[in-house]
Structure 1
Amino acid sequence: MICIREELLAQPESRSARGDKSMIWMDEANADLRLRCEGTLFSVREALQHVHQFLSIQCMPCALVEDVDLVLSEAMTNIVRHSYGDAGGVIECDLVVKGTSVDCRITDTGRSFDPAGAGRAPPEPADLAEGGYGWFLIHSLTNKLSYTREGGRNILRFSVPAMQAMAKDDAEVHVLS
């Protein structure tokens, strides 16, 4: 397993101005990716770019890459806004490509989450709600969705199925540009 970001951080000119201590590990042989980023929207955006690149290298279908991007974006943004708020913290994300799906695990040490209080149905369009779609989207695009709180850590696990995504785009493969 190689640590991509650690090598970059060793080079002073490549370190971000904010002193970001994010880490990215990729095991190309086993199709695994492990990310560790600060709980900020900017760091989440950077982490998602690495996920997108990793899945593209794995020659995953475009629709699967987009579904994983959307689910991770919703989950990690919710952590930044609701779990950490102004307190900040670290988000860890592990991905494993398993043939027909991508298994994900996201952990943080912020406030706990009550999935029973989250909507499984979208908000009413007539309400013109800007938010409130996140948990609905996560629930709609994943299998084996679970949330636990263990030892002061929130752990969200899910699998994004490739077969469902492939049906959406007729197995078009996503390649790096």
Structure 2
Amino acid sequence: MQTGKCLDLSFLATQSKASAGVARISQDLEAQGLPAPWAGDVKIALAEAINNVVEHAYAGLTPAEVEIRCQLHKTWLDVLITDTGNPLPGLCIPDGILAPLGSTLSELPEGGFGWFLIHELTSEIRYERSNGRNRLSLRFDFVQTV
């Protein structure tokens, strides 16, 4: 596995550009030797986090750039997502509590899984709002299996 900066990427905060950005980051990480199971977890968490930026941070605003910076090391990956959209409510990371699932298919909630998945798939989450910019940091620690 190579280590060092893996990717700096920016794209407009739209669903199509965000999907392409997540795909590109995932491909680059795998090309640098990140095993597929870990790459899958990273892709899911990134897709959820970036979807939140597109749908919520830029709700009611003209979409602007989302910047992604990845730093891959032998046993961990840091990802920084930066945008100029609306801040997280209360300037806090949501708890990531799973929404009640109900007992029938019709009772399943339409959403409410994103932050739960992000919390489950990452080792550490940090958020700050500074100079009109949101900075969401995600750390993924990779457990080595024998």
Output the TM-score relative to the length of structure 1.
0.72
Judge which range, 80-89 or 66-75, deviates more: 80-89
Secondary structure in 1 matching 2:138:
strand
Q: What is the Cα-based RMSD across aligned positions, in Å? A: 1.9
Q: Is the 8 A contact 1:108 1:155 kept in 2?
A: yes
What are the residue-to-residue correspondences of 1:143-158 with 2, within 5 Å? 143-158=123-138
Q: Does 1:103 align with 2:115?
A: no
Q: Is the 8 A contact 2:48 2:114 kept in 1?
A: yes
What are the residue-to-residue correspondences of 1:160-175 with 2, within 5 Å? 160-163=140-143
Q: Which residue of 1 aligns with 2:139?
A: 159
Q: Is the 8 A contact 1:147 1:154 kept in 2?
A: yes
Q: Is the 8 A contact 1:38 1:91 kept in 2?
A: yes
CA displacement at 1:50 relative to structure 2: 0.9
CA displacement at 1:119 relative to structure 2: 3.8
- State the structure with more CA Rg: 1
Q: CA separation in 2, counterparts of 1:134 and 1:63?
A: 19
Gaps of 5+ in 2: none
**How many residues are treated as equivalent by the alignment?**
139
Q: CA separation in 1, counterparts of 2:57 and 2:126?
A: 17
Q: Which residue of 1 aligns with 2:58?
A: 84
Percent same amino acid at aligned positions? 30
Output the TM-score relative to the length of structure 2.
0.87
What are the residue-to-residue correspondences of 1:47-66 with 2, within 5 Å? 47-66=21-40
Q: Is the 8 A contact 1:37 1:47 kept in 2?
A: yes
Q: Is the 8 A contact 2:18 2:51 kept in 1?
A: yes
Instruction: Render the CA deviation track for 1:29-83: whole Å, top value 9, x for unaligned.
Output: 7342111000001001111111111111111111110011011100000000000
Gaps of 5+ in 1: 1-27, 171-177
In the superposition, relative to structure 1, how do residues 60 and 93 fare at CA in structure 2: closer, same or farther (>3 Å)? Answer: same
Q: CA separation in 2, counterparts of 1:58 and 1:121?
A: 33
Secondary structure in 2 matching 1:129:
coil
- Report runs of 4+ in structure 1 exceeding 6 Å deviation: none
